[in-house]
Structure 1
Amino acid sequence: MQAELQITQQNAHTLNRPSLLAPAGNWECAKAAVENGADAIYFGLDKFNARMRAENFTEADLPELMEFLHSRGVKGYVTLNTLIFPQELREAEKYLRTIISAGVDAVIVQDIGICRLIRHISEDFPIHASTQMTITSEVGVEFAQELGCNLVVLARECSLSEISKIQNRMQYRGATLPLEVFVHGALCVAYSGQCLTSEALGGRSANRGECAQACRMPYEMVVDGEVLNLKDKKYLLSPQDLAGLSVLPDLVKSGASCLKIEGRLKAPEYVANVTRVYREALDKLMEAPEEEIVENTSKEEEYNLEMAFSRGLYTGWFRGINNQELVHAKFGKKRGVYLGRVKRVNNEEVVVKLEAPLKPGDGIVFDNGHPEVKEEGGRVYAVQQQGKDTVISFGRGNINWRRIYIGDKLWKTSDPELDKQVRQSYAGDIPQFQRPLDIEVHGESGVCLGAVCRDEIGNIVLVESSVPLETARNKPLTQEKLEEQFGRLGNTPFKLGNLTNNLKGEVIVPVSELNRMRRDIVAKLEEQRAKPKRWQLKANASLKDLLPTRQVETRLFPAGHYVNASLPSVSLIVLVRNLEQLQTALNAGIETVYCEFEDPKKYREAVEIVKSNNIRRDAIIPCGTLRERVSTPTTIFVAPPRITKPGENWILQQVRACNADGYLIRNYDHLQFFANDRCIGDFSLNVANPLTADYFKNNFGLERLTASYDLNINQLEDLLTTSPPNWYEVTIHQHMPMFHMEHCVFCAFLSDGKDFRDCGRPCEKHEVKLRDRVGSEHILQADLGCRNTVFNATAQTGAEYVQRLIELGLQSFRIEFVNEKPEEVAQIIQNYQQLLQGKITGSQLWRQLKLQNQLGVTRGTVARS
């Protein structure tokens, strides 16, 4: 720790300039980013990216796009940040070869298997670990580094303190991977890569780029069976937008190497506006003396950011957790700049005490506390001062005045003048944002003038005069003259940075020769920059080299199905979330139980209950002179919390202290902490293809892997036929864990506290559900780290597909409970036992339990094509 402290102190006095990464959904957005100072852009193609609703580029665009970006000194990263299914791997391999050949600077990846595939076909092509990989600690960074990644995008939930700790601990352990941090844009309430809400509610997976934004919808809070009156607070899961401008100095000090702006679904005006604000702020920060660095946001910067897009701007988790401020809960859509409240309404005019500038032509909306319905608004026709108040009038017929009330809030949603200025920043073909060139000149009388030029990204060119320097009788080449001539870089992507004059004596060369040299410098640099990156690409390496051997005998039945020649016995695994459910599972004879409790201290009691139960079940009964075992003892695995942050190893120690038979592995920290224990990989590892499965199974020795909840029945079949089926278990009954989030709903709306230190722990006193617009009441639970999970109100089953999965060799089936009473648990367990014993069919079970007929589908209910 002393060494860590020393590193922290050293870093406090060293500011390295982070790069600025901007989003681009199309060509216009790419130009907007480049012309406003982005160092790199990230963009999706038409497949495998987490913003499938964006316009996106195509593979055919890549050569031209990369040439444009590189000629302007900007890098381009392709987002391939979704899970990849087994039958998509071959297409993904071709896709990757195209991306690498086009000279793309990096690819942003979520899927572990795709990271492996990239590193197999190219040893040097850069891989950036997406925020979808849910990396929240230095152990996660090391995992990414061992996987072959070159940069890690941290989870948005990491605070400044945690980012610094991760950076310092990496240095202490000898790791060197750069860290990228989101600095601005929309905040997902759930951890990226751990949100199954769109999947559960509509078959549109966020892990497949199809997020339906259920977090932006209104919810009612049902506390102990009664709806809590929260007045105008309905959007309980909709965070304000992230704005890290005010903490920019601390972000730079934290060691982040790249600052990322969210927004691939946004317009080019947004990209231009936000990029320019952060570019200018970052440049000012890097140029300012250390003693003058302060956390500050000007009114103009704040105005520009709010007009670009705003659900309210907030520093997110950078300053730590503040559940009272992160989610204001009053709306979940764009607002803009707050203007004030309506004081009077008369003659189709409103009187307001303005809190922000307003002019004719601006667009406004009236907010009466019901953002879920159509709101009144329109263009301002006239603005007149009336003492301290302002009278605002609109075009005739534009506003339904019967829906406007005293007290309504006014928001400025559009500023055409600002939009015009922003659009001008990237209009036309002449470069408007110029990057500095550093030039050194050398020479003396009788030899040619030499100019060595370097750009920001490391390109270097040498240009010499065609005639030798002469001794100057008057007007020799001075610093000012050289800067004047070499600085004439208008209409180019360059501007003069530092010019170092190393000339010996007073010499001169014709001005025309200086102009020619300057033009040659520009031409040579542009030629050098436009060359595509040449990454290594192994022609003979292919996907099939990485695919595991299935190692299961099959025979072809007349129906056309492959079935195991010798079907092994199948097992039913039960996950419980309290001690009563555990006892019920034991009474039902379950041989493998998983416990996921809010308080891991109760795991010790759970283990004792199982051991005591085993002693009873292991009773020896006399049978003549023989003694025989009555049944197989129950094995108990316990689950640590899904997220682990720096300083939270005490939770893992508390989990291990229960001395369970094994542990559910849910993140990269668990892989390391429980490396010497029996372990099962849980669904949160997002195992969706055989390459990912092989990595976890064989690199970490996991006994089994839980198949991703993003897989439908067809994709599960593909997984089981492309790798050994005994690697897996499949959850066939559960309340889907939809949102898993740092935001604590209990704290935010059942207390006045900011976090666990002052909230009074309402999660331990109340049963809470979130009622959505169709009346479904989704179950809310907290874990020991105060992170909340919202479970789908309706349980779902894959019972109808169990027989097919058994035929394919699957042996392990899991069912999960949340808040079911013991009698419900007993009945459900009995039904699934009968199903696996062949006593009832899946259709009969489904009808009996009246469950949603769904099994982790990507689109809609499970349907076999």
Structure 2
Amino acid sequence: MKKDLSREDIELLAPAGNWEAMRAAVANGANAVYFGVEKFNARARAHNFLMDELPAIMEFLHMYGVKGFLTFNILVFENEMEEAKELIDACIDAGVDAVIVQDLGLVKLIREISPDFPIHGSTQMTITSAEAVDFVKPYDLERVVLGRENSLKHIEKISAETEKELEVFVHGALCVSYSGQCLTSEMWGGRSANRGECAQACRLPYDMIVENEQKEMGNIAYLLSPKDLAALELVPQLIEAGVTSFKIEGRLKSAEYVANVVAKYRKAIDAYFAGEQYDPNVIDIQELEQSFSRGFTHGFLSGTNHKQLVDGTFPKKRGVYLGQVKKVYRDALLIDLQAPLKRGDGIVFDAGDPTQDEEGGRVYDIRIKGQKIEGKVEGGLYEIVMGRNDVDLHRVQVGDKVWRTSDPELDRRLRKTFETEKPYRTFPVDVSVHGRLGEPLVSIWTDVNTGKTVTVASEKAVETAMKRPLNEEVLRDQLGRLGGTVYYLGDLHLDLDGDLIVPMSELNRMRRVAAEELLKLRIEPRTYQKRDLDVYEDTVAVDPATGDTANLIALCRSLEQIEAAGKTDVDYIYADFEFVRDYPKAVEVARAAGKKIALATPRILMPGERGILLNIIKAKPDGILIRNTGALYFYEQERPEGIELIGDFSLNIANHKAARLFLERGISRITASYDLNTEQMVDLLSQSDASKVEVVIHQHMPMFHTEHCVYATFLSEGTDYTNCGQVCEQHRVSLRDRVDFEHPVRVDTGCRNTVYNAVDQSGAEFLKEFLQYGVNTYRVEFLEEDGDRVQEVLKLYRQALEGEVTGTHVWRTLNATNQLGVTRGQLTKTGITRG
């Protein structure tokens, strides 16, 4: 354990997509709640709150001693910086306890506005190593949310190397792609996951293509759809690993879900600090499954096990598994129940093809040999009668799986926890009472939870009591009548000079005034420093670039491609190989051709992988293409002489402040985020030093980047890289989607998969615009192209840069000569004229 942690050090952090869910979180024991407002958060589909509601939200939460964190965990485009500042100002004014941020440009903006307003680094920052934690130290982040792919061992190592608070997801939906690194929705539908608009492409069915042949997978079709995370039994290990905030996913989920999950994890945390052994029982797990489940997994917390992450047979909520259909009667179904069932429960019949409409409905009756059973049955063979209009029994087959999809009784019980007129929580207030004859009675009230104090005196002087003088019994009775408030009477200290009395009405008034004043102090907003500023006071303007002097870069993924690029007039070659062991040969081939070469780091840096970064230095390239902040921090410390550092797209630079931040950290050129369309790119260029911006003008978009390896999962009996047999070195795999495009899947040196879009993307038509804004470095990326195609494509782009052909000519030529054509991808979302 990093340090001795008490119960008060551990935070249970709950989601809230609306007021009802927020109340459910507070009522069931959350220490903090995270929520979004109508814009700038990663759950655009949630109901969300209004910015004007921030003061009321914080008053409600602080009344119960609960912290409130606003989610601002998306990329901020250049034309949104003013609105972003407005929201940060509103958060500061409302006393929000912290803002959860993805965009490092926004981090820079917040620190310019306020040096002490708390910032939490979102999981979308892709922080997976101690180096990545250290990278954000200069910006005084209070906390970082680690990637869901970190294991307990990783977390323990990171915790041992940093004093930063660590937050970890413990329950809810899993993204198959690293958060902040999924571009699928952006590529296919202009709905960026980095903008809260994920289209859940990972939940779609795919065919697995191995060496150009479809692999027979039976009823397994959802190759990228993970089960849901449930780490209830890992709570002790997580605390001992140094986790201080336990985060529950679910701002799109119901209030009942929030109530259920929060209550279960509250129970587990409290049991740990009470020294009790807590093992979730069957009922606990089934109730969690009932609220929402695609099947439960520890995700990567227990380490990588590719056999447990993805089921593959369904992508959506199932609930509790009940058993299988044993027989179909005229009016009922015989089911071998493995879990409890009662009248009114909702069930669905799973025939193994979730793409088809499934039969399901409410249980009307439960019978055994034709006799009705009253109440709940726990398990065994029963005849289940469904509502007449709910189920077509002719479509249900023997062997179909049965799931309980709803439990109205559980929902009613959960709602009772937060649908109540009573306060959800109460807090002790200590009172000291001082009385002297002829003077007002003075009471000092201390909110033990906050330490804040108010003093309330009687309006009438104390008199000598003729009977029943003030004593502890009388005062405890009168001052303790705090029902309906968030307080209860704690310690009572008396300092009375003789037998004294004041009217009971005075004691009642003093109590009411004290409770009201204490509440005002409890809910008053936290205060932070704040300065006003012009968000564009630090912008830079540069002169237009000329195409004949522009630099052309070729990113290659094979030695054949490097050899081919070396025979062209490219100015620089980047090598992005699956295995770092092949990098020395890449440098050798580039140098033989007289070309400068940069080597790409992996997209992700995990604990224990510094050796990969050292091996890149040992290959002695001219540059390193930096793909994560952990790698950048590592090279900042190593300071490799004569090697320039180039920032890649995965750093998610979407505005001029993010560009400045990375340039200030030693990056020589930055690459803009792939979330930008052409109009947004121009907005960024117009406010940044465009001469230090590199534009990727041609590529196969890297859509999913995931720790989940489809090679190991579906081509091997192994569970991870130690026993999978390195099938990725023996086969080539693609995933075929519903419109018959086959998307290549490639593995990197860390055994992570990248799924690339099947079709090339070209921005050739926008070259003239980018040149006008001062961009003089352009990158062309290759995936599986042979040497001849590499030379052909590079020649076209060089001709376009030098004005020999138009960008439209390049696009049409590529479209005509490519079997699948080319796409403009996300670049089409623009009003800019193409040329």
Deviation at 1:458, TM superposition (A): 4.8
Distance change in 2, residues 1:602/1:117 (3 Å) = same
Deviation at 1:91, TM superposition (A): 2.2
Deviation at 1:97, TM superposition (A): 1.6
- Distance in 2, matches of 1:657 and 1:470, equals 91
**Does structure 1 residue 637 correspond to structure 2 residue 598?**
yes
- Tell me the residue number matched to 1:366: 349
Deviation at 1:682, TM superposition (A): 0.4
- Tell me the residue number matched to 1:340: 323
- Tell me the residue number matched to 2:591: 611
Distance change in 2, residues 1:491/1:191 (3 Å) = same
Deviation at 1:815, TM superposition (A): 0.9
Amino acid of the structure 1 residue aligned with 2:826: V
- Tell me the residue number matched to 2:571: 591
- Distance in 2, matches of 1:184 and 1:455, equals 32
5+ long unaligned stretches in structure 1: 1-7, 171-175, 554-562, 615-633
Structure 1 contact 717–808 (Cα < 8 Å) conserved: yes
Distance change in 2, residues 1:73/1:439 (3 Å) = same
* Residues 116-137 of structure 1, C-alpha deviations (whole Å, 9 max, x = no match): 1111112221111111111111
Amino acid of the structure 2 residue aligned with 1:219: Y
- Distance in 2, matches of 1:506 and 1:223, equals 92
- Distance in 2, matches of 1:864 and 1:770, equals 34
- Distance in 2, matches of 1:251 and 1:460, equals 37
* Residues 345-382 of structure 1, C-alpha deviations (whole Å, 9 max, x = no match): 11121111211111111101101111111111001101
- Tell me the residue number matched to 1:56: 48
Deviation at 1:285, TM superposition (A): 2.8
Deviation at 1:18, TM superposition (A): 1.4
- Tell me the residue number matched to 1:802: 767
Question: Which of the residues 605, 612, 618 maps onto 1:651?
Answer: 612
- Tell me the residue number matched to 2:227: 240
1:674 is paired with a residue of what secondary structure? helix
- Tell me the residue number matched to 1:558: none
Question: Which of the residues 515, 518, 522 maps onto 1:522?
Answer: 515
**Does structure 1 residue 857 correspond to structure 2 residue 822?**
no
Amino acid of the structure 1 residue aligned with 2:523: A
Deviation at 1:398, TM superposition (A): 1.6
- Distance in 2, matches of 1:30 and 1:325, equals 32
Deviation at 1:864, TM superposition (A): 2.5
Deviation at 1:389, TM superposition (A): 0.7
- Distance in 1, matches of 2:442 and 2:92, equals 40
Deviation at 1:327, TM superposition (A): 1.0
- Tell me the residue number matched to 1:146: 138
- Tell me the residue number matched to 1:454: 447
* Residues 295-343 of structure 1, C-alpha deviations (whole Å, 9 max, x = no match): x212232122111111112221111111110111111101111111111
- Tell me the residue number matched to 1:631: none
Distance change in 2, residues 1:608/1:458 (3 Å) = farther
Q: How does 1:31-50 map to 2 (within 5 A)?
A: 31-50=23-42
Amino acid of the structure 2 residue aligned with 1:123: P
- Tell me the residue number matched to 1:120: 112
Q: Which stretch of the first structure deviates more once superposed, 83-92 or 69-78? A: 69-78
Q: Which stretch of the first structure deviates more once superposed, 139-148 or 10-19? A: 10-19
Deviation at 1:461, TM superposition (A): 4.5
Question: Which of the residues 811, 817, 828 maps onto 1:846?
Answer: 811
2:549 is paired with a residue of what secondary structure? coil
1:638 is paired with a residue of what secondary structure? strand
Question: Which of the residues 353, 356, 380 maps onto 2:336?
Answer: 353
**Does structure 1 residue 231 correspond to structure 2 residue 218?**
yes
Q: How does 1:390-539 map to 2 (within 5 A)?
A: 390-428=382-420, 430-437=421-428, 439=430, 452-461=445-454, 489-494=482-487, 499-500=490-491, 519-539=512-532
The TM-score with structure 1 as length reference comes to 0.88
Amino acid of the structure 1 residue aligned with 2:662: F
- Tell me the residue number matched to 2:716: 751
Task: Please report the RMSD computed on the Cα atoms of aligned residues, expressed in angstroms.
Answer: 2.8
Distance change in 2, residues 1:532/1:581 (3 Å) = same
Question: Which of the residues 349, 352, 362 maps onto 1:379?
Answer: 362
Q: How does 1:135-174 map to 2 (within 5 A)?
A: 135-170=127-162
- Distance in 2, matches of 1:487 and 1:751, equals 68
- Distance in 1, matches of 2:796 and 2:39, equals 41
**Does structure 1 residue 83 correspond to structure 2 residue 75?**
yes
- Tell me the residue number matched to 2:375: none
Q: Which stretch of the first structure deviates more once superposed, 439-448 or 309-318? A: 439-448
Deviation at 1:281, TM superposition (A): 2.8
Q: Which stretch of the first structure deviates more once superposed, 137-146 or 391-400? A: 137-146
- Distance in 1, matches of 2:665 and 2:516, equals 53
Q: Which stretch of the first structure deviates more once superposed, 158-167 or 680-689? A: 158-167
- Distance in 2, matches of 1:132 and 1:259, equals 17
2:75 is paired with a residue of what secondary structure? coil
- Tell me the residue number matched to 2:244: 257
Deviation at 1:420, TM superposition (A): 1.6
- Tell me the residue number matched to 1:690: 656
Deviation at 1:185, TM superposition (A): 1.0
- Distance in 2, matches of 1:514 and 1:168, equals 54
**Does structure 1 residue 661 correspond to structure 2 residue 622?**
yes
Q: Which stretch of the first structure deviates more once superposed, 331-340 or 153-162? A: 153-162
Deviation at 1:177, TM superposition (A): 2.4
* Residues 143-164 of structure 1, C-alpha deviations (whole Å, 9 max, x = no match): 2231232221111111122112
- Distance in 1, matches of 2:823 and 2:644, equals 31
- Distance in 1, matches of 2:217 and 2:464, equals 83
Question: Which of the residues 668, 674, 696 maps onto 1:703?
Answer: 668
- Distance in 1, matches of 2:126 and 2:765, equals 33
Amino acid of the structure 2 residue aligned with 1:744: C
Deviation at 1:14, TM superposition (A): 6.0
2:161 is paired with a residue of what secondary structure? helix
Amino acid of the structure 2 residue aligned with 1:800: E
5+ long unaligned stretches in structure 2: 370-378
Deviation at 1:467, TM superposition (A): 8.2
1:543 is paired with a residue of what secondary structure? coil
Amino acid of the structure 2 residue aligned with 1:857: Q
Structure 1 contact 242–313 (Cα < 8 Å) conserved: yes
2:794 is paired with a residue of what secondary structure? helix
Structure 1 contact 21–40 (Cα < 8 Å) conserved: yes
Structure 1 contact 22–275 (Cα < 8 Å) conserved: yes
Deviation at 1:12, TM superposition (A): 6.6
- Distance in 2, matches of 1:20 and 1:509, equals 48
Distance change in 2, residues 1:397/1:94 (3 Å) = closer
* Residues 560-589 of structure 1, C-alpha deviations (whole Å, 9 max, x = no match): xxx55x776112101111111111111223
- Tell me the residue number matched to 2:373: none
Structure 1 contact 198–213 (Cα < 8 Å) conserved: yes
* Residues 81-123 of structure 1, C-alpha deviations (whole Å, 9 max, x = no match): 1111112112222232223222222211111111111111122
Deviation at 1:416, TM superposition (A): 1.0
Structure 1 contact 733–814 (Cα < 8 Å) conserved: yes
- Distance in 1, matches of 2:617 and 2:596, equals 15
- Distance in 2, matches of 1:322 and 1:435, equals 44
Amino acid of the structure 2 residue aligned with 1:132: Q
The TM-score with structure 2 as length reference comes to 0.91
How many residues end up aligned between the 2 structures?
A: 810
Q: Which stretch of the first structure deviates more once superposed, 502-511 or 418-427? A: 502-511
Identity of aligned residues (%): 45
- Distance in 2, matches of 1:500 and 1:153, equals 39
- Distance in 2, matches of 1:456 and 1:97, equals 28
Amino acid of the structure 1 residue aligned with 2:623: G
* Residues 695-721 of structure 1, C-alpha deviations (whole Å, 9 max, x = no match): 111x22211111111111111111221
Distance change in 2, residues 1:452/1:64 (3 Å) = closer
Q: Which stretch of the first structure deviates more once superposed, 525-534 or 47-56? A: 525-534
Structure 2 contact 95–527 (Cα < 8 Å) conserved: yes
- Distance in 1, matches of 2:534 and 2:96, equals 20
* Residues 514-556 of structure 1, C-alpha deviations (whole Å, 9 max, x = no match): 76665455323211122222322213x33133x2322x24xxx
- Tell me the residue number matched to 1:212: 199
Structure 1 contact 425–432 (Cα < 8 Å) conserved: no
Deviation at 1:759, TM superposition (A): 1.0
**Does structure 1 residue 18 correspond to structure 2 residue 10?**
yes
Structure 1 contact 712–855 (Cα < 8 Å) conserved: no
- Distance in 1, matches of 2:567 and 2:733, equals 29
